[in-house]
Each structure stands twice: as structure tokens, then as C-alpha cells.
Chain A
């Protein structure tokens, strides 16, 4: 990917992707679905590490992929293009928009639910990756265990278990499953 395309992508996500959540799909679309910049597996590596490192997942993902694709200088410029517009627009909202206006809130909710739509699509794409192992297809039993693990983690998180403990318990279980099967 050319540095210019990388910066355009970050600008697009940073300045135009209203709605909250699920914005990683813009990166997946641009780098995996609509081009061959990265394989799905390479993207998932970046996504996994971005989720595990503390901080904003979207920024983490952009940082990881930027380092891989265009080097630290353009990664850094991309970082600012991704992070500054939303923060400045946030201040404009704070100063200029009446957040108690019901019509405005409905519009914002609409954008958020639009994001949920593509969040689901993104998760579906990631979930398809559970079918593969290193260099081969995964067995049916192992796939079932992986799905079960994902469901349990989602349930524990929704139930309100602290994320730290979900990961402290979940990661060893996941590793055990992977190495035992």
C-alpha cells in the first residue's frame, strides 16, 4: 500500500466514519476484501494484538498495521489523521450542538446502529477465520471448542465479570485447547 493510500484511509475513518464502534471493518475492507495488501490471517494477527494491548482498539489496529505496511513515519501521520478530526468535531459538538435535541439524538442513534450493522459483518469475517489452523483446516471438534470459548467470553463480559479476570482465565484455557487438540 502506498503511504498516500494509507493516509487517505486513516483520514476517511478518522474524519468521516460517524457512529461509534466497529470501525475496524474499514481497514479490513481496504486491506483485505478490496485489495490484496494483507491476507486475512495477517489482518487477524494485527487485530488480536490490538485487542490485547491496552488502549483504543481502533488506534491500536491502525498503529499495528501502519508499522507493518508503511513504516513508523507514515504510521504516525496516519495516527494523527485518525485521531484528531474526531476529537475536534467532538469539541464542535460540545460547543455548538444541543445534545438534548431529540431529533439530533435520533440521528446519532441511527449512525450508531448503522455501525452495529457493520460491526456484525466484521465479527462474521473474523469468525470465519476460526475455521483455519496453521496451514490446514481445523477439525470440527476444535472449531466447536473455539466457538464455545468465544461464546463463554462474550457471556462473561456481558455478565459483568472484570475483563482482567476474563482474560486471566480465558487465555490459558484457549492456549490449552490449542495445544491439546
Chain B
């Protein structure tokens, strides 16, 4: 029974989550922490933090919440709940758009939405930046160092075309090592 509830909570929230993970967080927390009392706010936040760091979609924290609530069956319920609805919708949208995209006004509407999408991505990036560069001490110095390392990373990428994954791992290790030494 609880697995069905987990599935339904994630399924409903997944259909409300336009714009990615930030859009659905308040509602998900309300349902899981305050309505069903499946976990504390701290545990919820811990699951969210895990989702921020694991590979793949950031919503990987939803199956993790399912696991925290009811073990592996909760994991499966959370997984199916969060991904099933949107996947079906995208398949339908892809079919519909592919069929009609040669009509000029359909293409124009798609073009008209692109600036909005870019705006939303910019907002997501700024939020991510603010969350990850918040420190109680030496905020300015850390920010300047981070911007410098980001610039060098991008320059290396443009020059060498190395795999992004390698550069990402290198960035993480160098950044964390520098902060450990600094502290």
C-alpha cells in the first residue's frame, strides 16, 4: 500500500514539475514531510543533496527517497512514479511536433519559446552557483578563485576538446584540494 502511495506522490509531482527540479521541490517536500510524515525535513534535504551530486538526472533523489521510506520496493515505486508520466508525455510531444513542425506557424511558436527556455536555464545556473559558492568565510576569495578555475577549464576545453567528463572530474578535484589547503 505504501509503495502505491509513494508512486502516486511522485507521479503527481512529476506532472507539476515544469522547469526541472527547483519547480517541484516545495510541493514534494509538502507531500513527503508534512502530509505523509515519511521523513523529517533534514532527511528530505539530505536526499536532495545526494541527488545534486550523483551522475545522471538530478531527480535521481526521488528513488532514493522511495528507498529511505520503504526499501527497494519504495525505490522502484519512486523511480516509476517520477519518470513514467513525463516520459509518456515527451514521446507524445515528440510525435506530435515531428508531424507538424514543417508548418511554418508551428515552427515559429517553437522559436518564440526558445528565449524563455534560455532564461529558465540561466536562472537555474545562477541558483546552482549561489548554493555551491556560499561560504561563511572568505566568500569573495573563493568566488574569484572559482571564476578563475572555470575560465581556465573552458579555455582548455576550447583548445583541446578533451572529454567534458575528464575536465569536470579534474575541476572538482583541483577545486576541492585548493579549498582544503586554503582552509
Chain A residues at the B interface, C-beta cutoff of 8 Å: 12-23, 25-26, 29, 34, 44-60, 63-64, 67-68, 72, 79, 82-87, 89-91, 93-94, 99, 103, 106-123, 126-127, 129-130, 133-134, 146-147, 149-155, 157-158, 163-164, 166-167, 170-171, 174-175, 177-179
Chain B interface size, as a band, is 35 or more
Q: Tell me the smallest distance from the CB of A15 to a CB of chain B, in Å.
A: 6
- What are 9 A-B contacts with C-beta separation under 8 Å? A23-B56, A53-B89, A55-B15, A64-B94, A83-B56, A86-B56, A109-B176, A114-B167, A152-B119
Is chain B's interface secondary structure helix, strand, loop, or mixed overall?
Answer: helix
The answer to whether A56 and B90 touch across the interface, beta carbons within 8 angstroms, is: no
Which among B54, B97, B132 is the interface contact of A90 at CB below 8 angstroms?
Answer: B54
Q: Inside 8 A of B117's CB, which chain A residues have their CB?
A: 47-48, 51-52, 126
Q: How far is the CA of A110 from the CA of B68 in the complex (A)?
A: 26
Within 8 A of A (CB), among B19-62: 19-21, 23, 46-47, 49-61
Q: How far is the CA of A123 from the CA of B128 in the complex (A)?
A: 14
Q: Inside 8 A of B107's CB, which chain A residues have their CB?
A: 134
The answer to whether A59 and B146 touch across the interface, beta carbons within 8 angstroms, is: no
The answer to whether B60 and A109 touch across the interface, beta carbons within 8 angstroms, is: no
Within 8 A of A (CB), among B136-183: 146, 149-150, 153-154, 157, 161, 164-165, 167-176, 179-180
Chain B residues at the A interface, C-beta cutoff of 8 Å: 14-21, 23, 46-47, 49-61, 63-64, 67-68, 75, 79, 82-83, 85-87, 89-91, 93-95, 97-98, 101, 104-105, 107-129, 132-133, 146, 149-150, 153-154, 157, 161, 164-165, 167-176, 179-180
Q: Tell me the smallest distance from the CB of A135 to a CB of chain B, in Å.
A: 10
The answer to whether A130 and B174 touch across the interface, beta carbons within 8 angstroms, is: no
The answer to whether B116 and A118 touch across the interface, beta carbons within 8 angstroms, is: no
Q: Tell me the smallest distance from the CB of A19 to a CB of chain B, in Å.
A: 6
Which among B18, B60, B157, B175 is the interface contact of A113 at CB below 8 angstroms?
Answer: B175
Nearest CB in chain A to that of B118: its residue: A150
